[in-house]
Structure 1
Amino acid sequence: MKAPLKELAEAAGLLLEWENSDGEPCQLSEQAQRNLLEVLGYSTASESAIEEGLQRLKRLHAPASPAEWPPLLTADCDTPITLPSPLPPGTAFTLQLEQGGSKQGYLDDNGAVPSVTEIGYHQLQIADTELTLAVAPHQCYSLSDASGETTPRLWGLAAQLYALRRPGDGGIGDTLALEQCVLHAAEQGADALAISPTHAMFSADPERYSPYSPSTRLFYNVLYSAAETLLGDASVHDAQARNGLQAELRRLEADDYLDWPEASRAKLSWLRYLYDDFMVREDDEAQALHREMQAFRRAGGALLENHCRFEALQREFGPGDWREWPAELRDPASPKLAHFAETRSDEIGFHAFLQWITAEGLSRAQRVARESGMAIGLIADLAVGADAGGSQTWSRPTDMLEGVSIGAPPDLFNAHGQDWGLAAFSPDGLKRSGFRSFIDMLRSAFAHAGGVRIDHILGLLRLWLIPRGASPTEGGYLQYPLDDMLRLVALESWRHRGIVIGEDLGTVAPGFRERLTARGILGMQVLWFEQDEAHNFLAASDWNPHAMATSSTHDLPTVAGWWAGRDIEWRSRLGLLKETQSAESEQLARRKERAKLATTLGLLGVKPTTETLEAADIPASQVLDACARHLAATPAPLLLLPVEDALGLEEQANLPNTVDEHPNWRRRWASDANDLLTSDEVRQRLVALTRARKATSSSKPSRSALFGKSTHE
């Protein structure tokens, strides 16, 4: 018989045993169990408190009657549906289908709802209870569905949105520059453009600009807006001139590095002038746009209203954590908050206006991508969590966990673990709310894209959570309802006709990648990690046919940077090398690694004898071309080449374990988006990549007809 504490910990979803990155068994200490249970809302102060917690969990996970059922159940199509608690076989039910119409039936001999073929969010009425039944396809919308090819061999680029340039952007890449980049990528044969996260940040606190630490994943970063596309160049230029910012904007635009605080303040300043002018315009064009904006606000409902209120509140009270605001303003439903909204209606309207023009810009970029011939178009990036002091935790606190942050346990690269400072979903809160925040988050990500990359997709299975104030070593794994979440991902994928990529790099739980593959979710494989046990780089034919292939990521060296040893220079300069490492030892190891990579890429001839290479021995441009050919030859159904590797740049977007020491998320590319891919070297590289990919693809009828027309064209 298990000890009550251990029983409660397991029932609450804590993982008591696991293997670390070295394959060694680990156990969650009793003290860590108590600390995490307290944060999850289960007292361990006495045996009676523990028993009370067990009974609460029993009612949640095994309700005694339909009256206690959760508001939403997930199910697979064509599979009998087990109910949360047993009802007699033959019990009558009615299913109101999302597409219209209804079905009547009876529970089968096992007390299950007979299989449902129609995917969607249906309403199940049974035993005086009504709940939502989310019926999912067995797999996500696939690359074959998108391309019509049996064995797709598509390719695309991966871009940091803020790094794009265009004349008049004011120092920040925006959706108009994104349009231009999409057009030129499509001309080169690309079927996709993966972009950095576009989640909403903090308008009143522009010092917080990491795209992976957003205020909310339910809305968008308004600094990426391009108001010109809706209101015209003349209106924008007039607002900037009246604000006296034209010289400042030109200076910011010319910088090699994005100054987020200054560029943010300048852009929001002239956007306020633009908004004020727009709201008093009475011409027919403006009135039509007013109606569109109001329709956008109505569609956004309370969720959008609350985010805009949060932005207004933070401007009122200044940067900082909303948990430090007056108590009556910490609750979005409080009467004091309603009064605040009445008195600040114009400020709230301004933030709704910003969300509208940003969403319209992203939608327009995706439309341009598809009209230009891309099979996929934009691939959005979904961060693993949100800032604990942001809009998402304020607006829906019961869906999030308070008092813990997401991180990582100790491993080979971080002996003390990592604390990312991000808020996590509450598994119990998600179930009680019918997974509303998870579904809304997916819809926001898919809304203006042809695909979504889910960062740290292992988080759908488990997250390493650290109590506030504790060391990462004192954290533990909390398990999540993986089956429910994967079904919802598949359902939203089909509703939006969007592919799904799961970032599964590093150590994952046994069998997890197989679960993703079974659901039609692509994994990720990165050139630097595709090595055998002897640390030789894998031949192209040995790569995984069920994962996306790429040369690098935003957190890793570019090809040219790796070849030059630039990443080693940075880590040495900033003191990021381990005690057992030195710049000299790392550069020596890199010389050996260069030879191994060159061997795999066929740059050393048929029978290579060289065991070390200097960076100057082979020009980086040749290495880049060979890497592109190598990636193109893999069986990966999708190849994403970072723009940095298309251009041959040495610097990476982000250097992990740094904040201000390295210009993370600030580097901008030298050329405008219209000229980014036009050099002879880049064009030849991409043309060769297109030919290599298209040579191995084949056609087939699309599966799309199975589920009817998309609800989000």
Structure 2
Amino acid sequence: MTGEAIIEKLAAACGIEPEYRDNWGRIHPTSIEAKKSILNAMGLTVDSPEPAKEAWHATLARKWSNLSDPTIVVNVSDPPKKLFFQMPVRAQGEAPRGLKVSLIITDEQGEKQEHYYTQTDLSSEETVQTEGRTYHRWGIPFPRVQTLGYYSFHLSVLIGGLQSSQIIFVAICPEKAYIPTALQGDARAAGISISLYGVRSERNWGIGDFGDLREILDWVAEDLHGSIVGLNPLHAIFNRRPFNTSPYLPMSRFYRNYVYLDVPAMEDYRDSPEARTLVNASETQGLLSELRASKTVQYEQVAGLKQKVLRQVFQTFLENHWNRAGNKTDRHQEIENYVEREGLLLENFATFCALDSTIRSANPTVWIWSQWPPEYQRPDTEAVRQFRQEHRQEILFHKYLQWQIEKQLSEVQAKAEKIGMCIGLYHDLALAIDRFGSDSWAYQESFLPAVHVGAPPDAFSQQGQDWGFPPPDIKKIQEDGYHLFVKEIQKNCAFGGALRIDHIMRFFHLYFIPEGKLPNSGAYVSQPFGDLLGILALESIRNQVVIIGEDLGTVPVYIRDRLKDANVLSYRLLYFEKDDQQDFMRPESYPELALVTVATHDLPTLAGFWTHRDIEVRKDAGMLDTQQAVIGAAAEREADKRKMIAVLQDLNLFPEDFDENESVYAKVTGEIHNAVVGFLALTPAKLFILSQEDLFKDPDQQNLPGSTSEYPNWSLKMKYTVEELRSGKASEFCDMFRNWIDRSGRNKKQPLNP
């Protein structure tokens, strides 16, 4: 077998796809160089024929040397008939003697079932010879396990005096994700999405917080008759501009950003005269006034002020509860229980935060963990163990913040359910991680080095996109029973009624770009989508959370079909839903199992689209570097606007006296605004979400992809304060939206739980 042939076999075995089809229909074969680079990143040395041959033999040996698969994800409606295992035998065709098998099944509560098999219970499957050894594969009847959940299968095999055993992680999963009673049949719902950081109010500290979110729930439910409030990802970030403020590039996807805490609502704040004195000081009040008045979120100043106050609040907690002599207080016991439930996941996160704070205090020029002393660059070193012992209080502080975040967020979702919102909070799970963040430090073996995740060239980015973060090592994650994936879904399903999965194609395949190469030099690598969708459906059912898959871009038909079968809602944008002639599709053409909206944070708002605001911004940022490019973008936009007006007219969504003249195309008039909202409300899609920017005709989008300091990404604030939402200033927009919610039958105020 030639060296290139070995590369091809290894690539196929490792899921590297041989080609992909772009959104212009062109086929792009994966180059042998891309395959080599990705295989090297996977730990297979293939730079020359001999190492490649060794890698191939090692891959074959690993396949047969394990007793069974490390992880099995089962569809409860269609379980496998057999559980397979393999063992080395002396010679091909030689019947083994004294073959005995035991299987002990342990559920999540520790309850056990024991099964024993003799040779007569087994089916003989196949014999193979590889790497000088002979292996035989058998099957035993797959045990009947009807209860959804996670199980440990302890398989033990005795053959010819040789015993082998293995723990197999088994997930018993539903076929479909959760759909609440309020959305079954032809029922539909609607709501508003906000960027919580950008919420303005007279009481917050220059950034939206959970107290503001409570008020927004009342506004959406009572004034708009909505039942959903969509949020940006609340993941923990470094809160440093311009590189560390994106909620879609978090330091951790497991834990959240403390800047969203409503500090005055904390019990320990109310019990802390020192904290209240600090906040009420004239200097602090002056700073708060400046932060509220700022047109953009000042992350560093907000985070610095909140940290300062929260540390004083934490001291009060220590004095009143943690260090208090005698019996433990209820709050002491509560945080202990929380820390125990979270386990190593929280320990690693809090340790990282404490290390980052401690090391940067000593040396402010150290910004990323790869600059830390080598002994702190892994979580399992002796130096880190000693740090945990010596800095227990600092680590506890960061655990305390997460405990308080979850308490407040839980209360917000409980309020949503109490006031009859059928979904309540709609969360967002980012695809990316900050490669210098907590997750990348704590779980280094779960990510592949020397490759980045990105996207191939498409209509959105004709050069392709390198997103700059490492892909997961899915083999390692699979071998670990998908533990990190399960935790990620569980943590992000909590305290909400819906969850959006950013780039849902990640479950099927990811585009890998070798480090140092252009995006068009990459390749798609397959992911175990059946397993990942099964676990997603299981957590959706358990948490009673609707799942929305962001399926924008070049999406193969089979992916959308499989998502539909699993009850994962599609994510459809007004701008992108066009037919083969590039005309906008009519409302009835939208799928039922979908969420519809105008745009995303990365695209122009409706007002920005109409006035070419995004084109101006891209020009100013140097992204449209010729006048011809600007003219071309503007001409294409005007054509789209005319097509949109045409379909809205055809649907009779304009008043009878609507006058289509040139002035119509200059800005989003009230008639156009009303018609677009009505268009989306009338689709059969289960969920309709309008961003607050599109409700209030704000021309500025939250993010300009590809920019850093050229645009105020992730920091723009709402047009109206929370207090103004229910006043005359915003009432015209609110009345229009509520009218469409009522007319389209999306007014669904009933409890989330059936």
TM-score (norm 1): 0.91
**In the alignment, is the contact (CA less than 8 A) between 2:421 and 2:748 conserved in 1?**
no
**In the alignment, is the contact (CA less than 8 A) between 1:646 and 1:685 conserved in 2?**
no
* Matched residue type, 2:171: A
Over the aligned positions, Cα root-mean-square deviation in angstroms equals 3.1
Query: Which one is further off, 9-18 or 491-500?
Result: 9-18
Please state how far the C-alpha of 1:617 moved relative to its aligned partner.
Answer: 6.4
Query: Which one is further off, 653-662 or 411-420?
Result: 411-420
Shift in alpha-carbon separation, 1:203–1:599, aligned structure 2, 3 A:
closer
Q: Note if 1:263 corresponds to 2:302.
A: yes
Secondary structure, in 3 states, of the residue corresponding to 1:217?
strand
Query: Which one is further off, 72-81 or 513-522?
Result: 72-81
Please state how far the C-alpha of 1:219 moved relative to its aligned partner.
Answer: 0.8
Q: Note if 1:308 corresponds to 2:350.
A: yes
Q: Note if 1:83 corresponds to 2:125.
A: no
Secondary structure, in 3 states, of the residue corresponding to 1:423?
coil
Deviations 1:103-135 (A, max 9, x none): 566778664415532211123233344323101
Q: Note if 1:136 corresponds to 2:138.
A: no
Aligned match of 1:710? none
Instruction: From 397, 402, 406, give the equivalent of 2:444.
Output: 397
In structure 2, distance between residues paired with 1:193 and 1:285: 42
Secondary structure, in 3 states, of the residue corresponding to 2:499?
strand
Please state how far the C-alpha of 1:697 moved relative to its aligned partner.
Answer: 8.8
Aligned match of 2:572? 525
* Matched residue type, 1:199: H
**In the alignment, is the contact (CA less than 8 A) between 1:526 and 1:549 conserved in 2?**
yes
Secondary structure, in 3 states, of the residue corresponding to 1:512?
helix
Aligned match of 1:17? 19
**In the alignment, is the contact (CA less than 8 A) between 2:74 and 2:172 conserved in 1?**
yes
Deviations 1:508-544 (A, max 9, x none): 1341100111111011110011112222211111111
Aligned match of 2:225? 189
Secondary structure, in 3 states, of the residue corresponding to 1:190?
coil
Shift in alpha-carbon separation, 1:94–1:344, aligned structure 2, 3 A:
closer
Please state how far the C-alpha of 1:379 moved relative to its aligned partner.
Answer: 1.3
Instruction: From 472, 476, 488, give the equivalent of 2:523.
Output: 476
In structure 2, distance between residues paired with 1:657 and 1:307: 29
**In the alignment, is the contact (CA less than 8 A) between 1:378 and 1:449 conserved in 2?**
yes
Please state how far the C-alpha of 1:420 moved relative to its aligned partner.
Answer: 1.1
For residues 314-329 of structure 1, the aligned pairs below 5 Å read 314-318=356-360, 319-329=366-376
Aligned match of 2:208? 173
Query: Which one is further off, 248-257 or 583-592?
Result: 583-592
Instruction: From 173, 182, 185, give the equivalent of 1:150.
Output: 185
Q: Note if 1:248 corresponds to 2:316.
A: no
In structure 2, distance between residues paired with 1:9 and 1:697: 50
* Matched residue type, 1:195: L
Shift in alpha-carbon separation, 1:148–1:410, aligned structure 2, 3 A:
closer
Please state how far the C-alpha of 1:343 moved relative to its aligned partner.
Answer: 1.9
**In the alignment, is the contact (CA less than 8 A) between 2:610 and 2:665 conserved in 1?**
no
Aligned match of 2:584? 537
Deviations 1:435-473 (A, max 9, x none): 111111111101121121000111111111223333223
In structure 2, distance between residues paired with 1:84 and 1:222: 47
* Matched residue type, 1:212: Y
Please state how far the C-alpha of 1:311 moved relative to its aligned partner.
Answer: 0.9
In structure 2, distance between residues paired with 1:203 and 1:586: 34
Deviations 1:16-69 (A, max 9, x none): 211122211111212222111111111013434223323443455x44452x54
Query: Which one is further off, 588-597 or 553-562?
Result: 588-597
Shift in alpha-carbon separation, 1:49–1:614, aligned structure 2, 3 A:
farther
Deviations 1:273-298 (A, max 9, x none): 22223321359999433332222222
Structure 1 gaps, min length 5: 706-713
Secondary structure, in 3 states, of the residue corresponding to 1:253?
helix
Instruction: From 348, 361, 372, give the equivalent of 2:395.
Output: 348
Query: Which one is further off, 156-165 or 607-616?
Result: 607-616
Query: Which one is further off, 269-278 or 337-346?
Result: 269-278
What percent of counterpart residues are identical?
29
In structure 2, distance between residues paired with 1:394 and 1:500: 29
Please state how far the C-alpha of 1:416 moved relative to its aligned partner.
Answer: 2.5
For residues 88-487 of structure 1, the aligned pairs below 5 Å read 93-98=103-108, 103=113, 111-114=140-143, 116-127=145-156, 128-142=165-179, 145-147=180-182, 149-187=184-222, 188-202=224-238, 208-231=244-267, 234=270, 235=272, 237-241=276-280, 244-281=283-320, 287-318=329-360, 319-487=366-534
Query: Which one is further off, 517-526 or 351-360?
Result: 351-360
Shift in alpha-carbon separation, 1:244–1:337, aligned structure 2, 3 A:
farther
Shift in alpha-carbon separation, 1:84–1:516, aligned structure 2, 3 A:
farther
Please state how far the C-alpha of 1:141 moved relative to its aligned partner.
Answer: 0.6
**In the alignment, is the contact (CA less than 8 A) between 1:40 and 1:401 conserved in 2?**
yes
Structure 2 gaps, min length 5: 88-95, 124-138, 157-164, 361-365
Instruction: From 697, 704, 722, give the equivalent of 1:655.
Output: 704
Secondary structure, in 3 states, of the residue corresponding to 2:79?
coil
Query: Which one is further off, 9-18 or 605-614?
Result: 605-614
In structure 1, distance between residues paired with 2:18 and 2:700: 41
Aligned match of 1:513? 560
In structure 2, distance between residues paired with 1:617 and 1:31: 50
Secondary structure, in 3 states, of the residue corresponding to 1:528?
coil
In structure 1, distance between residues paired with 2:666 and 2:199: 32
In structure 2, distance between residues paired with 1:340 and 1:100: 34
* Matched residue type, 1:543: Y
Deviations 1:226-282 (A, max 9, x none): 233332664453342469522112211111211112222222122222222332135
**In the alignment, is the contact (CA less than 8 A) between 2:235 and 2:256 conserved in 1?**
yes
**In the alignment, is the contact (CA less than 8 A) between 2:653 and 2:678 conserved in 1?**
no
Deviations 1:332-357 (A, max 9, x none): 12111111122222221221121111
Please state how far the C-alpha of 1:15 moved relative to its aligned partner.
Answer: 1.4
TM-score (norm 2): 0.86
Provide the aligned length of Structure 1 versus Structure 2.
698
Query: Which one is further off, 681-690 or 627-636?
Result: 681-690
* Matched residue type, 2:344: A
In structure 2, distance between residues paired with 1:73 and 1:619: 53
In structure 1, distance between residues paired with 2:653 and 2:632: 24
In structure 2, distance between residues paired with 1:605 and 1:216: 47
**In the alignment, is the contact (CA less than 8 A) between 2:435 and 2:469 conserved in 1?**
yes
Aligned match of 1:685? 736
In structure 2, distance between residues paired with 1:126 and 1:687: 59
* Matched residue type, 2:232: S
Aligned match of 1:709? none
Please state how far the C-alpha of 1:331 moved relative to its aligned partner.
Answer: 1.9
Please state how far the C-alpha of 1:494 moved relative to its aligned partner.
Answer: 0.9
Secondary structure, in 3 states, of the residue corresponding to 1:296?
helix
**In the alignment, is the contact (CA less than 8 A) between 2:295 and 2:716 conserved in 1?**
yes
Shift in alpha-carbon separation, 1:120–1:680, aligned structure 2, 3 A:
same
